[in-house]
Amino acid sequence: MLRKTLNLGILAHVDAGKTTLTERLLYAAGVIAEVGSVDKGTTRTDSLALEQQRGITIKSAVVSFPIDDVTVNLIDTPGHPDFIAEVERVLSVLDGAVLVISAVEGVQPQTRILMRALERLGVPTLLFVNKIDRAGADPERVLDEIEQRLTPAVVPMGSADELGSKAASFAPFGPADGDLAARAQAGELHPAFFGSALTGAGVEEVRGGITALLPAHASDGNGALSARVFKIERGPAGDRIAYTRVFSGTVTMRDRFDAGKVTALRVFADGDAVQRDAAQAGEIAKLWGLAEIQIGDWLGEPRREVEHHFAPPTFEAVVQPVDPADGQRLRVALGQLAEQDPLIDVRQDDTRAEISVSLYGEVQREVIEATLADEYGLEVAFREVTTICVERPKGSGEAVEILNTPTNPFHADLGLRVEPAAPGSGVRMRVDGGLDKRNVPLYVFKTFDSFVQHMDDYVRLALEEGLFGWQVTDCVVTLTKIGYSLADGPPSRRGPMPTTRDIRRLTPLVLLQALEQSGSVVCEPVFRIAAEVPTETIGPMLAALGRLGAGAATPSARGELSVLEATLPATHVQELRRQLPGLTGGEGVLDSEFAGYQPVTGESPIRQRLTPDPRNLEEYLAQVGR
Ligand SMILES: Nc1nc2c(ncn2[C@@H]2O[C@H](COP(=O)(O)OP(=O)(O)OP(=O)(O)O)[C@@H](O)[C@H]2O)c(=O)[nH]1
Ligand SMILES: [Mg+2]
């Protein structure tokens, strides 16, 4: 029998039951003899001590089990929004997904965010409406919510009975027809199952759905290698273990890459990661020996794709060791944590001798603090939690630097124009139609495309720190001029010729001048919030929202409970969370979701630059060299 592989993600809002469902699937496959429990800290995928103490998933984890002729590599992901980066890295390696939704809580904010990302990427997705055994379970209502708020392309696969009791059960309508299966495998339809991961109801049917309704592939080692690293773990000896999904070709023992040489290799197969000589397209491998590897790296041919599906971290905090002598150890430890989680952007401010890290929220901060204590024996304090802003150009600005003039010590001409683009569109670089391609120094860049690729990198680097020190985004940068002096020797009378270094250093110089022309506006992150509160507390709630600078709040009454929706600067969401119990007699529930950036009111906050400031030419030259 030809075996096939399916790389399956389990995704959901926090606490919906992903890890419990994973445990059930492992049990049903015979991989584990007993069903572990999240509440007792005995599941396979919540294996970290912190996960077991807190009863939540923090890191994505891979397990493997067979269903008939398919090897399922299941990736259990965290649902808490503070750990969304873990989900992001996994998305690009999935062949299919199961999105879990609680039959009691229904469609929650994170459910919508995840479904949108899965749809955008075209990942075929099954829905599992979980917890039908719990009091208040209402699969019909949840199905309506799914249709209204998640996707109209949902197809219920059966019905649930004896809701809210241990005996709750799922009765399938019948075998899925061929057309439905093909459309589900193509991601056009989303079959929905109901059940309970706790009692096992509906789990057999989901197992059937995973093989019949999601696209498993026979592995095939032919073709050029293309593989992606989506998770990095440190082994007991401090060695790096790279979790790698192979998309085409084969990774073999002793293969050499820029990041190192493969010294050990395991492939996920039917219950465990087993030692092998090679991993083929379709499979997930653990690779040892790649000392320089980073999350997101490609082995072999990279595939260009959309990189960011979710909101970036919106806070940063200065981290200080309680014992000042621990500064160096803290730097090393944070560097290692950032390796495993590249969005823990560690900023090192040498002038103030401070380290800060970017954060999604309070829970992630606690987890970093606990990890530093448990794994590194480091006691730290976080202070000065601030929001991470961005800058957007106000209008259009343009600057040109010409060779052999007092303001340009580098050996090239460069012209750049910066213009605002739609919010959320990021940075795009283009080349002006009138640019004379003959002036591109091809002797350094080889091809025109390679030159443009380099310019794109230089521009992005330069935009990391704008006029106020924040990352510049939502803009189009146009290359309007490039030039150099042709050596007419030897000996040359006009030289010297530019190197990549000249152009790399010239880019921030020109770009910041262009930005000074356009001006830039500092924008802070805002969240869309929905607060469900007792109707009689609407008055004080509206007053509090007003004080916190919320955009117009719209209350909608649903009997005794009302829902207030508003947008609120990120800085004030935590504050509202703190005030909520007092304002609502402990009855209020708050959901929040990143909703982009808006101009700050009042004075623009300034962030300390980490890279040399090209606006002061002398200092800039002293720091970067000529
Ligand atoms: N009654 C009932 N409880 C469930 C069911 N599934 C999970 N739970 C409970 O819900 C809680 C959360 O379950 P988990 O499996 O950890 O949920 P999760 O989605 O993995 O949570 P995160 O990974 O932290 O996002 C635990 O207390 C489980 O015992 C179910 O079907 N019925
Ligand atoms: Mg979990």
Helices and strands in the chain: count of H runs, count of E runs: 15, 34
Mutate to test the pocket of ligand 1, among 38, 60, 134 (most ligand atoms within 8 A of CB): 38
- Regarding the beta carbon of 44 and ligand 1, being less than 6 Å apart is answered no
Atom of ligand 1 nearest to the CA of 134: 1
- Regarding the beta carbon of 56 and ligand 1, being less than 6 Å apart is answered yes
SS3 (DSSP) at 251: strand
Q: What is the pLDDT of residues 130-151, one digit of tens each?
A: 999 999 999 999 999 999 999 9
Average pLDDT over residues 141-167: 96
Are 471 and 525 within 8 A, CB to CB? Answer: no
Ligand nearest to the CA of 14: 1
- Most confidently predicted of 296-300, 381-385, 389-393, 608-612: 389-393
Query: Which candidate, 577, 574, 538, 544, places its Cα nearest to that of 556?
Result: 538
Is pLDDT above 70 for 344?
Answer: yes
Question: Looking at the DSSP assignment, which residues form a beta bridge with residue 11?
Answer: 99
Please name the residue ranges forming H helices in 131-187. Answer: 139-145, 178-185
> How far does Cα 74 stand from its chain's mean position?
19
Q: What is the pLDDT of residues 176-206, one digit of tens each?
A: 788 999 999 999 999 999 999 999 999 999 9
304 Cβ neighbours under 8 A, 6+ residues apart: none
Q: With a threshold of 0.75, does the pTM exceed it?
A: yes
| Mean pLDDT, all residues of the chain | 92
Average pLDDT over residues 151-155: 96
Structure tokens at 141: 């209502």
Angle at 291 between CA 269 and CA 46, to 5 degrees: 45
Structure tokens at 521: 């506006």
Query: Which candidate, 57, 118, 50, places its Cα nearest to that of 82?
Result: 57
Please name the residue ranges forming H helices in 423-526. Answer: 442-445, 448-462, 500-518
Evaluated on CA atoms 592, 109, 46, 251, the torsion sign reads negative
Angle at 206 between CA 202 and CA 211, to 5 degrees: 155
Ligand nearest to the CA of 46: 2
Q: Where are the beta strands (DSSP E) in 354-426?
A: 354-359, 380-387, 390-393, 397-401, 413-420
pLDDT of residue 589: 86
- Regarding the beta carbon of 16 and ligand 1, being less than 6 Å apart is answered yes
Structure tokens at 225: 């290698």
pLDDT of residue 490: 53
- Regarding the beta carbon of 588 and ligand 1, being less than 6 Å apart is answered no
Burial of 438 (0-12, 13-18, 19+ CB in 10 A): exposed
b/e code 334-358 from CB counts within 10 Å (16+ = b):
bebbbbbbebbebeeeeeeebbbbb
C-alpha to C-alpha distance for 616 and 208, rounded to whole angstroms:
66
C-alpha to C-alpha distance for 113 and 266, rounded to whole angstroms:
33
Nearest protein CA to atom 32 of ligand 1, as residue = 131
Percent of the chain with pLDDT strictly greater than 90: 75
* Residue 487 pLDDT class (50, 70, 90 cuts): low
Average pLDDT over residues 376-388: 92
Nearest protein CA to atom 14 of ligand 1, as residue = 17
Is pLDDT above 90 for 420?
Answer: yes
